[in-house]
Amino acid sequence: MTFDLFGDLAPVAQADERLGEQAWVLRGFALPHVAAMLPALDDIVAQAAFRHMVTPGGFTMSVALSNCGDLGWISDRRGYRYGRHDPETGRDWPPMPDVFLQLAHDAADRAGFPDFVPDACLINRYLPGTRMSLHQDRNEQDFAWPIVSVSLGIPAIFQFGGHARSDKAQRVPLQHGDVVVWGGVDRLRFHGVLPLKPASHPVLGEKRINITFRKAG
């Protein structure tokens, strides 16, 4: 155990790194769940294939995405929003696997957000060179719930900024199995991912999968 640097002297586990008052990196937190997560992920993308969505401004996102859960995040020329159906098939998004729900709940709890039950799970697939520019997550109805973001596969540099796009962003290296949780006073902080360097992961190959849980509805 160690003591945090933000003054309240609450004991935290050694593998937890504080990014903000209510924002944490939980190093390796997802590792015990990965063996169960990967087949569940394959099932999801067999039903709702990865695709490159278009932004309202007309740009094609470099990251490919899919969703599971009651609500899926969608972007097209009409805007960003959540929807109950996959726009490519017209079907419901695949259900959220129990192993995903449990991991999201437990990570949120560890970061100080008890009772988190996500209804939306966005799955991002990054290949070397792809990135996600700085943005805020604002499409959810209630900002009281945190964001739980799981990294699998090749490493990435996560940017964690402030409440203005121009605020200097921390650069946080993320590895396979790391989980970032942010909420409360940090819920609307800008964040993004720098272009991925070429690399290969022994299980996932030359890609990074990010699984991000939200309570959107």
Ligand X SMILES: O=C(O)CCC(=O)C(=O)O
Of 25, 103, 212, 213, the residue at the interface with ligand X (CB under 6 A) is 212
> Any contact of residue 158 with ligand X (CB under 6 A)?
yes
Q: Answer for the pair 160, 172: CB distance below 8 angstroms, yes or no.
A: yes
Residue 146 makes CB contacts below 8 A (sequence gap 6+) with: 22, 108, 111, 113, 116, 181, 182, 183, 184, 187
Phi, psi of 24 (to 5 degrees): -140, 150
Alpha helices in 123-172 (DSSP H): none
Q: Which is nearer to ligand X, 106 or 140 (CB)?
A: 140
Residue 115 known to bind ligand: no
Closest approach, Cβ 149 to ligand X, in A, equals: 5
Instruction: State the residue number with the nearest CB to ligand X.
Output: 210
Q: Which is nearer to ligand X, 66 or 210 (CB)?
A: 210
Q: Which is nearer to ligand X, 3 or 83 (CB)?
A: 83
Q: Which is nearer to ligand X, 176 or 191 (CB)?
A: 191
> Any contact of residue 148 with ligand X (CB under 6 A)?
no
Phi, psi of 182 (to 5 degrees): -140, 140
165-194: contacts with ligand X (CB under 6 A): 191, 193
> Any contact of residue 100 with ligand X (CB under 6 A)?
no
Give residue for tokens 């990135």. 131
108-137: contacts with ligand X (CB under 6 A): 122, 124, 132, 137
Give residue for tokens 């087949």. 39
Q: Which is nearer to ligand X, 66 or 101 (CB)?
A: 66
What token pair was written down for 167? 């605020």
> Any contact of residue 210 with ligand X (CB under 6 A)?
yes
Choose among 209, 212, 99: nearest CA to 152.
Answer: 209
What token pair was written down for 211? 């699984």
Which residues in this chain contact ligand X in the complex, by CB under 6 A?
122, 124, 132, 137, 149, 158, 191, 193, 210, 212
